[in-house]
Structure 1
Amino acid sequence: MPTQFPSVTLLVTHYNRSQSLERLLQAFQKQEIIFGDIVVSDDGSKSEQVVRLKELAANYNFRLVSAPQNNGLGNNINKGQDAVKTAYTLYVQEDFDPFAGYAVHLSNALTIMEERPDVDIARFYAYFKYPYLKPYKFGFSEMVFKIWYPGYKKFHVYSDHPHLRRSTFFEKFGRYAEGLKGDRTEFLMNLSFIKKKGKAVFYEDYQKLFDQVNSSDEPSTMTRSDLRQSNNPLIVLARALYRNVKHTWEVLF
């Protein structure tokens, strides 16, 4: 039977990856997950992509929020979130696909947020497990941030990876910075989340809810420097120390 989430809008940010977008929408459709609304925010994709987006909008019944040119991640999320009318937003970038059985976990996350007005977001995916977690329920744990805890990974409380959030998110944390690279845009929101004492829950078995798919036909549009991706032990250590000092300064000052 279909699982309906009338209070949740699926917000998908998109840029030149209509095949990935269709795969994502198909995955939700196959699982019979029905949202109160679907918004796709496009960041000035190529004309042939826009034509395909309009076809997909008719097939999957989503509202397309377009842009005449590429304005970056911050602008794309801002205009997409502005279009949301429901109480909750499930934010997913177009290159993520939900694994089978996702509806149960979305329902559990929604239950937590309805029971706990202090919880701002429920996170479903990450590249690494958050180091400081306090078990809660349904497999979710509260993320605990203390500035004196060791390690730079403590700073990654908020993430643009798939998460459920209150649609009043901007009222508490402000809008995303525009005109910057995607990583910096994300981390500035993360800083706002920490400084304004945001509270998040994190699904501990995080690799079993979403799959990030970057095919050869539609590779990732995010680029990073060689130093940021290097696995050289000395570079990894230096990067970790630098991040810890830098992020501590940014949070405190």
Structure 2
Amino acid sequence: MYNLPGVHSFSEVSLLITHCNRSRSLERLLQAFKNLQCSFGEIVVSDDGSKPEHLAYIQQLQHTYVFTLVTTPVNKGLGNNINKGQDAVSLPYTLYVQEDFEPSEQFAQAFGDALYIMQQRNDIDIVRLYAYFSYPYKKPFGNGFSKMKFHAAPWYTNHLKFYVYSDHPHLRRSDFLEKFGRYAEGVKGDITEYRMAVSFIKHKGKGLFYDDFTKVFYQRNSAAEPSTMNRSNWRESQKPVLLMIRAIYLKFKLLKCTFDLALSK
């Protein structure tokens, strides 16, 4: 697979970073790639209507880290941010990362292997490199990767099966939007992700999942620039009543996702 040199030049890959009001986090991400001696054919930063002070800082960063900045005058949401960023990409492969992540020492080897696989296998649309939870239904592929297997049958009861696609850091082909459609705009970020996940399945997308999925990237949320995504407390509580409610909710979600997929155009 990937022969690990001292300097890692991924010349066929565009690094696409989505950003909003977290310019120091963006700087940390770019510096982390530099520290690992990882370079890309191009870097695109797609900004979602950040405040003037953050935009000014990003423009300063362009003197240190060469990248294309794509902006919008007002916040238009995750879907628009990814769409306009992907539109600016010009190379065959895209590494998509949100600004609050940081690559680990394991990144170069894992990413090099993922890129090699995509170069050799035209049927692979996406390689996922980070997740909160493992994809539930997989088949070993080799070199630390597994192939995600979506099963529509209702006895495959884990609702996470619908997330063959995820917005977490991943490598994909740059014609992704042509095959699976553009991201939904004007809705919340989790709905944007879910609709793309449904489209990915509907259009018979195929993807790999890195088995050591918490070791390639780390999600960093500082006190100065905290995460803008918060989970409801009832979804994380271990109280018996709330656990029962959560179990019922997940069964409902499984049915809803099944119907959404069946009714999708």
TM-score by length of 2: 0.93
Contact 1:74-1:178 at 8 Å conserved across structures: yes
Partners of 1:93 and 1:230 lie apart in 2 by: 27
Runs of 5+ unmatched residues, structure 2 = 1-5
Residue equivalent to 1:81: 86
SS at match of 1:208: coil
Shift of 1:164: 0.2
Between the two proteins, the alignment pairs up a number of residues equal to: 253
Residue equivalent to 2:249: 239
TM-score by length of 1: 0.97
Shift of 1:49: 0.4
Contact 2:98-2:169 at 8 Å conserved across structures: yes
SS at match of 1:159: coil
After superposition, residues 159-238 of structure 1 pair within 5 angstroms as 159-231=166-238, 232-238=242-248
Match of 1:114 among 119, 129, 148: 119
Residue equivalent to 1:155: 162
Contact 2:106-2:215 at 8 Å conserved across structures: no
Residue equivalent to 1:54: 59
Letter in 1 for 2:252: Y
SS at match of 1:145: coil
SS at match of 1:28: helix
Shift of 1:156: 1.3
Runs of 5+ unmatched residues, structure 1 = none
Shift of 1:224: 4.5
Identity over aligned residues, as a percent? 56
Contact 1:230-1:236 at 8 Å conserved across structures: no
Contact 1:31-1:101 at 8 Å conserved across structures: no
CA RMSD of aligned residues (A): 1.1
**Deviates most, 160-169 or 129-138:** 129-138
| 2:68 paired with 1:63 | yes
Contact 1:122-1:200 at 8 Å conserved across structures: yes
**Deviates most, 142-151 or 156-165:** 142-151
Letter in 2 for 1:28: F
Q: Relative to 1, partners in 2 of residues 1:162 and 1:172: Cα closer, same or farther, differing over 3 Å?
A: same
Shift of 1:53: 0.6
